[in-house]
Amino acid sequence: MKKLLVMAAVATLAICAAAADTVKDGVVSVKPGRWLWKQETSVLGIGMKEENVECLIAEEARITLSKLASDLEKGCSVDNVRPIQGGYLFKLQCTGKTKGNADATIIHSATTMKINAKGSATVGFIPAGFSMKSDAVYQGDCSAAEIAKAKERYLRENPGAAAPQ
């Protein structure tokens, strides 16, 4: 679910402002429902692929880029956020378990998201090239069972949140 949250965080938004302008954070809103998520990551030239389907409830369909970054890994944040047509350009900075920086882009609509990031990370004591590409596509409504499971997880991960309707 974290990956979908990352995509949702970086997903849908009404873009206004010139590409040269920076903002403190960005907000992404996507359509709640079932999403197919595909991701390719490469570190030190070693590629990893992942694909899954997740149910995104309404409470998770709107998220800031900074929340997205911290959900990716504790210690990650965003900087130099710039709105572009259909999304954002931003710098992903991680100072926790994984240390590194990446230039990232998110392009989205209510039913699609594309994230690309390229930069460097430290693996042990070795600096390494890093790249990530992800795509998410809305697949339709979630089943009642999927919604119930997603809401249960949401409340467990957000103990102060009100019970979703």
Amino acid at 110: A
pLDDT tens, 13-35? 222 233 345 678 888 899 999 99
Model confidence at 10, in pLDDT bands (50, 70, 90)? very low
Helices (H), the chain: 2-9, 65-72, 144-157
Task: State the pairing for strand pair 62-64/33-43.
Answer: unpaired
Question: Which pLDDT value is given to residue 162?
Answer: 66
Could you read off the pLDDT of 54-99 as tens digits, one per residue?
A: 999 999 998 889 887 887 778 889 999 999 999 999 999 988 877 8
Domain boundaries, the chain: 2-157
Helix (H) / strand (E) containing 76: strand 76-84
CB-based contact 86:107 (threshold 8 Å): yes
